[in-house]
Amino acid sequence: MLSIRHVLVCFFLLLTQVSGGIILPIIKSLLAAEAPDAIKTHDPSNQCLSINRGKLLCCTAALSGGFPTVQALSAVVGYPLPADTLNGFLCDPSGTTACPGTQLALCCQVPQVAGIWGLWCQSAL
């Protein structure tokens, strides 16, 4: 039986094919605009203290804030997300930088938005 995670991954992959977007499989640390203090995590992970003081997440994919689907979702929820940010998709909290399988270890200043997004992220490696 398919889980909601599998359905979301399939939906996400379909959107990337339709819109011509690019999934960023390997991301180095990017210096993007900081997340507003009011929405930043107040419980940073030890692994992320020297990176961006974010929360460590294992994400299925990483997308640029300029990706059309990300911009559309950002507009729908009224959330001002700069185009030069890196954002994790289908993310789970992690206690270590060793994420399972092909998941990406990301330090996200705004973790777990709607339970699946991590915003204002940088690579944890």
Q: Report if residue 1 sits inside a domain.
A: no
For position 70, what pLDDT does the model report? 78
In a domain, 51, yes or no: yes
Number of domains in the chain: 1
Supply the pLDDT for residue 105: 92
C-alpha distances out from residue 16 to 33, 67, 85, 117, 125, Å: 24, 9, 18, 16, 25
What's the one-letter identity of residue 95? G
The answer to the question of residue 30 being in a domain is yes
In which domain, by residue range, is 47 found? 23-123
Residue 85 lies in a domain: yes
Per-residue pLDDT tens, the chain, 125 aa: give them. 445 554 455 455 444 444 434 333 323 333 345 677 777 888 999 999 999 999 999 999 998 888 888 788 777 767 667 788 888 989 998 877 688 888 999 999 988 787 788 888 988 88
